[in-house]
Amino acid sequence: MRISTKGRYALRVMVDLARQGRENYVKLQALSARQQISEKYLEGILGTLVRAKVLEGSRGKGGGYRMRCEPTECTVWDILKLTETSVAPVACLDDEENRCERASTCITLPVWKELDSLIRGYLESVTLDQFLRNLPENEGVVPDGKQWSCGL
């Protein structure tokens, strides 16, 4: 399993927005600068999250993006299932129903199912507020004033 850039960026942006509070709209340009993600690429990610009703977008003066969910209720799994094609460790577990012709006799399938269950369980257990609790006070600013972000 490998999380794509889209999934990692979506998680970073959601943590950023959670830090701003649910009542505040944050401009695309500010998110782009803080997270060092191109505005064009970020628009696509934000569009996905707005369509899924995880974020709310508003146009015009004072507009931007804000979270619709509580940071205590939004999990890493919630974000990745919207942005990743699959988070399964093997292709035969990509869909709800395993359509592999060898599924009934596959000796390795139980290992992959257990791994899939562990991965999903862990990602469902990590909420956005956990990231916020672990941020140092000066997270996001380096001494010369430039913005930076973690490598999520």
pLDDT tens digit string along 66-108? Answer: 999 999 999 999 999 999 988 899 999 988 888 888 988 999 9
5-85+127-133 maps to CATH 3.20.19.10: no
CB-based contact 39:145 (threshold 8 Å): no
Selected residue with higher pLDDT from 98 and 148: 98
SS3 64: strand
Q: Is the pLDDT of residue 151 over 60?
A: no
Q: 10: buried, middle or exposed (CB in 10 Å: 19+, 13-18, 0-12)? A: buried
Q: Which amino acid is at 145?
A: G
Give the integer Cα–Cα distance in Å for 96 and 86. 11
pLDDT at 140 exceeding the cut of 50: no
Break the chain into its structural domains and give their ranges: 5-85+127-133
User: What single-letter DSSP state applies at residue 49?
Assistant: H
The reported pLDDT for the residue numbered 146 is 43
pLDDT at 133: 86
- Look-up of token digits 């990692």: 8
Rounded-to-integer distance, Cα 145 and Cα 150, Å: 16
State the chain's mean pLDDT as an integer.
88
pTM here is 0.83
Question: So what's the pLDDT on residue 62?
Answer: 81
CA angle 71, 1, 127 (to 5 degrees): 10
